[in-house]
Amino acid sequence: MNSKKFLPVAAAAVAAAFALAGCASGGSGSSGTSMPGMDHGSSASPAAASDNNASDHNAADVMFAQMMIPHHAQAVEMSDMILKKQDIPVEVTSLATRIKAAQGPEIEKMTGWLTAWGEAAHMPSGHSMDGMMGTDDMSKLEAAKGLEAAKLFLTQMITHHEGAVTMAKTESKDGKSAQAIQLSKDIVSSQEAEIQEMKKLLTTL
Give pLDDT, residue 44: 38
Supply φ then ψ for residue 3, to 5 degrees: -95, 120
pLDDT: which is higher, 65 or 18: 65
Query: Do the Cβ atoms of 107 and 69 come closer than 8 Å?
Result: yes
> Is residue 105's pLDDT more than 50?
yes
DSSP calls for 163-193 = HHHHHHHHHHHH---HHHHHHHHHHHHHHHH
Give pLDDT, residue 53: 53
Q: 160 vs 8, 69, 75, 114, 117, CA distance in Å? A: 16, 13, 8, 23, 27
Query: Do the Cβ atoms of 130 and 70 come closer than 8 Å?
Result: no
Read off the pLDDT band of 102 (50, 70, 90). Answer: very high
Query: Do the Cβ atoms of 189 and 32 come closer than 8 Å?
Result: yes
Proportion of the chain above pLDDT 70, given as a percent: 73
When the pLDDT of each residue in the chain is averaged and rounded to a whole number, the result is: 81
What tens digit of pLDDT does each residue of 56-92 get?
999 999 999 999 999 999 999 999 999 999 999 999 9
Read off the pLDDT band of 115 (50, 70, 90). Answer: very high
What tens digit of pLDDT does each residue of 140-183 get?
999 999 999 999 999 999 999 999 999 999 999 999 999 999 99
At 6 the three-state DSSP class reads coil
Domains of the chain: 7-19+55-123+132-204 (1.20.1260.10)
pLDDT, mean of residues 39-54: 41
pLDDT: which is higher, 34 or 79: 79
Give pLDDT, residue 54: 56
Rounded Cα–Cα distance for residues 14 and 111 (Å): 10
